[in-house]
């Protein structure tokens, strides 16, 4: 029989896979169109997906306080997503994604250690090695320097994502789908207001819709898997596993966009797999 800890690790890895794919699709859609419209429509698709799942699985509606926390988490996550997509659109995916992942991981890990105590020694080693892997993944060209917009935007994104992680962890023991739906709904409302105030295209082009839909589904799936991981296990373990999403984004950029991967980045992928093994023990 599969242990609870194994299920938690599986959900954490699944969240990384989903978020990595969602970040790639969203970043690519943002390169081709308006950032705000991409966010609004992807979040709207995600909200509809969550509503269907909530009804299908007949999850009980939680207390208003939990829905409020989910709504705040959604705003924080959207703040991070805006910075992340903008960073992916104007910078190199191989730099933006790893830097945001480091910031995303560090804050919840410190929060969890303060509240839950230290995890097992092997898992601590896995945490450190995972961050090292993200550093290796951040190398894109031998002589290139990190530009300012490739630094501050992913830092802001990581800060928003880390707050989302911490807040969702507070409600995941009681409910998962409805708080996430409240988060998506609040983010859609906020981003729609911002979109309407700007003199920019309100509706994405037809050739963007598939990418936006995929981004919405993957981002929602990543959030759902993360919430399950925190319900089944520790916040710090779930966060570090989810923060491995740059490996997916970088590999997709290499395979689809033909972005060149250096030896250091392949080493980063291998180190990430080793870190996964240590965290899973």
Per-residue pLDDT tens for 95-124? 777 777 778 888 888 888 888 888 788 878
Q: Are 133 and 77 in contact (CB under 8 A)?
A: no
pLDDT at 183 over 60: yes
pLDDT of amino acid 141: 54
CA distance 54 to 97: 30
- Supply the angle between the helices 152-171 and 64-90 in degrees, to the nearest 10: 160
pLDDT at 24 over 60: yes
- Token pair listed for 55: 């009804």
User: What are the Cα distances from residue 263, in Å, to 155, 243, 246?
Assistant: 25, 21, 16
pLDDT of amino acid 45: 92
Q: pLDDT tens-digit profile of 229-281? A: 999 988 888 888 888 887 788 788 888 887 777 777 778 778 877 887 777 66
Residue 194's domain spans which residues? 4-280
What is the residue-wise DSSP string for 163-191? HHHHHHHHHTTT-SHHHHHHHHHHHHHHH
pLDDT of amino acid 107: 86
- Token pair listed for 25: 């699709």
pLDDT of amino acid 147: 65
pLDDT of amino acid 143: 47
User: Which of 259-267's residues contact partners 24+ apart within 8 Å by CB, and which partners?
Assistant: 259/92, 259/93, 259/94, 259/140, 260/140, 260/141, 261/94, 262/139, 262/140, 262/141, 262/142, 264/136, 264/139, 265/94, 265/136, 265/137, 265/139, 265/140, 267/136
Number of domains in the chain: 1
pLDDT of amino acid 76: 93
CA distance 65 to 74: 14
């Amino acid at each position: 029989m599969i242990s609870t800890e194994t299920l938690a690790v599986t959900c954490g890895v699944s969240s990384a896979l989903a978020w990595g794919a969602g970040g790639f699709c969203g970043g690519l859609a943002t390169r081709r169109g308006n950032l705000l419209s991409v966010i609004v429509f992807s979040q709207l698709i995600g909200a509809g997906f969550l509503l269907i799942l909530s009804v299908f699985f007949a999850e009980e509606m939680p207390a208003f306080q939990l829905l409020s926390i989910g709504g705040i988490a959604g705003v924080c996550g959207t703040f991070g997503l805006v910075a992340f997509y903008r960073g992916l659109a104007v910078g190199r995916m191989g730099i933006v994604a790893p830097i945001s992942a480091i910031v995303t991981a560090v804050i919840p890990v410190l929060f969890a250690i303060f509240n839950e105590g230290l995890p097992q020694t092997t898992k601590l080693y896995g945490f450190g090695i995972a961050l090292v892997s993200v550093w290796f993944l951040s190398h894109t060209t031998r002589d290139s320097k990190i530009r300012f917009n490739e630094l501050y935007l992913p830092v802001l994104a990581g800060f928003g994502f880390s707050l989302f992680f911490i807040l969702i962890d507070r409600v995941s023991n009681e409910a998962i789908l409805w708080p996430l739906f409240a988060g998506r709904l609040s983010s859609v409302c906020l981003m729609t207001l911002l979109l309407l105030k700007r003199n920019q295209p309100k509706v994405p082009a037809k050739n963007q819709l598939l990418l936006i839909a995929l981004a919405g589904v993957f981002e929602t799936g990543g959030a759902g898997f993360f919430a399950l991981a925190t319900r089944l296990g520790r916040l710090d373990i779930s966060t570090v596993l989810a923060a491995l999403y740059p490996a997916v984004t970088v590999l997709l950029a290499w395979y689809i966009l033909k972005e060149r991967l250096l030896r250091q980045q392949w080493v980063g992928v291998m180190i990430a797999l080793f870190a996964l093994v240590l965290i899973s023990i």
